[in-house]
Chains A and B, each alone.
Chain A
Amino acid sequence: MAKILGIDLGTTNSAMAVVEIGQPRILENKEGMRTTPSIVAVGKNGERYVGVTAKRQAVTNPRDTIYSVKRLIGRRFADEEVQRDRKLLPYEIREGKQGDVEVKLGGEWKKPAEISAMILQKLKADAEDKLGEKITEAIITVPAYFDDSQRKATKDAGEIAGLTVKRVINEPTAAALAYGFNKKKDEKIVVYDFGGGTFDVSVLEVSEDTIEVRGTGGDTHLGGDDIDQKIIHHFIDEFKKESGMDVSKDQLVVQRLKDAAEKAKHELSSTLQTEVNIPFLTADSAGPKHFNISFTRAKLEELTRELVDRSIKLTKETVESAGVKISDINEVVMVGGQTRMPLIVEEVKKLFGKEPHKDINPDEVVALGAAVQGGIMQGYIRDVLLLDVTPLSLGIETLGQVFTKMIEKNTTVPVSKTQTFSTAADNQPSVEIHILQGERAMAHDNKTLGRFILDGIPPAPRGVPQVEVSFDIDANGILNVKAKDKATNKEQSIRIEGSSGLSEDEKKRMTADAEKHAAEDAKKKELAESRNLGETLVYTTEKMVKENDAKIKEEDKKEINEKSEALKNVLKLENVEEIKKATEELSKVAQRVGGELYKAASAQNSSGEPKQETPPAEESPKEEPNK
């Protein structure tokens, strides 16, 4: 089935996505970028530029470079917005025959929908290039406040570009879809969209089979660009204070300051302070002038506080005028690159008293949601295919009470995993399989799900028997654990139904516990592992001495004996360093003696070591069978 392209046709930038294997994915454009500037231009020689190339030539060709055409699409020329934007936009705008808007591009008058179509055409071509297949259908998003005429014009743009527009959906709805909130019945959602040039707030209500827009608001001339401008002006002022020079008229210098402002803004989303360092910014008769200031997050917030506060005020008003109480809002979704700013997240959180959703890239979430809508329409995203994941890791207890994970947390089910274990003692007749769930390193800190015993293991030295343990979780979350002795094919199993029957709180607590105790758990695990290593070494060394009694010199035997006793003594203690040291010492002697034995025997063929599988081994040789 051909893919449906999900398109976020933005005022400043556009993005596109498709669904693959039930998951939406952003498609990069031909230039390798995940978003495409919504700009179209016609150059001197009549060649057409769309996207980043149009943006790059804008300065030199302002009258034939059309940007922000979304502000005009489907509007009447007499509209207040058109009249206002007409003054800000550098290209020619006139009234069409039907009272609509026309823009001049390359000497020809065009409808805004035709300009949008050029952007869509590029996206379509780039998507086809990327996917290697034809794209004929699309879902296009529009702001929730778009009226019928604006929606129809957007749809026309799609058709002109050669796309069958399956549906025009609201941007906030797309964002909610990307988060899968269409399944949250009766919830009220606020979408806070702080884009490059526009700020939109929407209140959504999810019902049985629809997502209804309850209210919209915002400011069509408030965006991340305003924040950048504040920073640039601050830099210009600082430089003036320092050098006495006004660089605001020098385009090249302003360009360098703009680069630095963007960079600083991004950095201050993750750090509290950054250094703005532009050597040789400009020069006067006294020589070159450099710009070097320290710029803090606090300063950035002080500069932009007014803009953020305005957005919060608008959000509050929008929710209230939708007839919804702030406290009734169930989810808040962040859209637009500017929402990466910590101050914005903090203020939104303060307003609603809950953490806003921002896990999905805010520049891409709308396009992803549009793709999800396409996926739903094609039936790619079916409820059946929404697979569960294991909330916590599952595994068994192994030697030294260590929790050995078989299935990691967040693994998609159904899944099965098999691992081979062995015995911990010579002639051990049975192994106990102790099934646990959790994230802690030591077995007893996790939750026991069940246990059983596999007996009838034929007598053999430790480490020789091979017990295959398999975990299988089916699509219903039922866990089957089976243990099989490979020598006798004897097996024993257990079925655990409620393996994911944990409450949300329980899951959270267990995960948090694991994080809290991570360091101490790692220490315990290290102790258990070094003990295991020490014990194994004592065992193998003693075995070597026993088997080669006649060939080993008495003094070596004595040394081995001493070192081995010393190790056995420290093994009782809880000191990892001591154990490691004693193990190391015994190991050195054992290796030297072993090496001599090997040399002596090299003329003949020495007897092969028994093959040993994965070292963790079951300890407690309990005898009574489980059932």
Chain B
Amino acid sequence: MDEEKKQTEDTKTDVLPADTNDKAEEYLNNWKRERADFLNYKKDEFKRLSEFAKFANEGVLMEVIELMDDLETASKKIDDPGLAQIIKKLEEFLKKYDIEKIAAKKDFDPALHEAVSTEARPRQAEGEAGEGGDKIEEVRAGYKMHDKIIRPARVKIIKNN
């Protein structure tokens, strides 16, 4: 009888470990996955944070750029060397944060420009004869920060027809 009891216990213990092993394996794998996820997340988060830090000032600087817009609009109406100097000062300030104006281009490029209106003008009125394409006229400057376009230039499209 003792022998028999031992036998059943043995068969029991035969089954159990296999099952527990499977479970243990599953748990261990889940845990490894979780650890790996966490470490990868940390790496990604680091990348995101560095990117975030790079553009952390963007919001504030955008408001400074708006002031710059006003000054530039004013300078078009008022010719004053003092005003020009303020604009220059502000430009230098923005440059410190690696913010620069997007250089003017002849052709419309929606990666850099935002069209706000269109205007048809006879070809003769335009200085540059010969080129058939539309011309653009900047109404508000565009800016880039660390090579990212933070604000496209607003332009008026002059249709040549």
Residues on A close to B: CB < 8 A?
20-21, 31-32, 43, 49, 53-60, 251-252, 255, 279-280, 283, 288, 384-385
Contacts and interface: CB of A to CB of B under 8 A. Distances in A.
Interface string B97-138: 000000000001011011111100000000000000010000
Interface stretch (B1-9, B87-95, B152-160): B152-160
A53 B110 contact: yes
Nearest to A61: B115
Nearest to B133: A44
Nearest to A23: B41
A252 B156 contact: yes
B14 interface: no
Interface residues of B, number: 28
B117 A280 contact: no
Contacts of B30: 384
B73 interface: yes
Nearest to B112: A56
16 contacts: A43-B110, A49-B110, A53-B110, A53-B111, A57-B113, A57-B115, A59-B115, A59-B116, A59-B157, A60-B115, A60-B134, A252-B139, A255-B154, A279-B74, A280-B70, A280-B74
A601 B149 CA distance: 66
B38 interface: yes
A20 B108 CA distance: 39
A21 B149 contact: no
B77 interface: yes
Contact of B114 (A32, A56, A385): A56
Given A279-B70, A288-B77, A54 B110 contact: yes
B25 interface: no
B115 A32 contact: no
Contacts of A53: 110-111
Contacts of A283: 77
B44 interface: yes
A57 B111 CA distance: 9
B96 interface: no
A252 B70 contact: no
Contact of B77 (A49, A255, A280): A280
A105 to B, nearest CB: 16
Given A279-B70, A283-B77, A20 B116 contact: no
Contacts of A288: 77
A306 to B, nearest CB: 29
Interface in B51-102: 70, 73-74, 76-77
Contact of A252 (B108, B110, B117): B117
Contacts of A59: 115-118, 157
B12 interface: no
Among A49, A54, A251, find the residue whose CB has the most chain B CB atoms closer than 10 A: A251
Nearest to A31: B149
B10 interface: no
A294 to B, nearest CB: 18
Given A53-B111, A59-B115, A279-B73, 7 more contacts: A21-B41, A57-B108, A58-B115, A60-B118, A252-B139, A280-B76, A283-B77
A60 B152 contact: no
Contacts of A49: 110
A413 to B, nearest CB: 14
Contacts of B108: 57, 60
Contacts of A31: 149
B77 A60 contact: no
Nearest to B149: A31
A32 B148 contact: yes
Contacts of B134: 60
A49 B154 CA distance: 18
Nearest to A47: B110
Given A57-B110, A58-B115, A20 B44 contact: yes
B41 A20 contact: yes
A502 B11 CA distance: 46
Contact of B110 (A32, A56, A384, A385): A56
